[in-house]
Amino acid sequence: MKRVSTYRPVLVLALILAAAAGAPASVWAQGHAAPAQASPASATAPMTEGEIKKIDKDAGKLTIKHGEMKHLGMMPMTMVFRVKDPAMLDAAPVGAQVSFSAERIEGALTVTAIAPAR
C-alpha cells in the first residue's frame, strides 16, 4: 500500500496563501487587476518651505535649507539641487525664504518650481 505524503496538502495551502497575500485586493474583490496608478514623477510634487543658502549660476544649482520632503523620503537638511530652468536661479536672493517643489529627474534632485514664501 502506498503512503500519501502529509506534506503535500500543507505545501499547496501555503502556496495558495502566499499568492493571495501578494495579489492586489481588486483581483479578489472584482476578478481583475487594478488599473495602473500614476507614477510619483508624473504627479505634481508638493511644495516645501526652505531658505536659499547659495546660488551657483555657473553650475545651475541652488543650495537650500529645507523642511521635510516626505515624497522624496528626506528629513530637514541643507542640500544642493539642480534647477529645471536656469531662470529659477534669479527667483530669489541668498537668504530668501521660498516655497519650492523638487523631484528626482534622471537621478538628480531637481527644483521644478520655486516662489517666494508667503
**pLDDT tens-digit profile of 71-84?**
999 999 999 999 99
Domains and their CATH numbers in the chain: 48-116 (2.40.50.320)
Chain centroid to CA 70 = 8
Distance between CA atoms of residues 65 and 60, nearest Å = 17
Residue with cell 503512503: 3
Model confidence at 23, pLDDT cuts 50, 70, 90, reads very low
Distance between CA atoms of residues 1 and 118, nearest Å = 84
pTM of this prediction?
0.62
Inform me whether the pLDDT recorded for 5 exceeds 90.
no
Residue with cell 500519501: 4
CB-based contact 111:81 (threshold 8 Å): yes
More confident position, 13 or 28: 13
Nearest to 46 by CA among 104, 110, 118, 103: 103
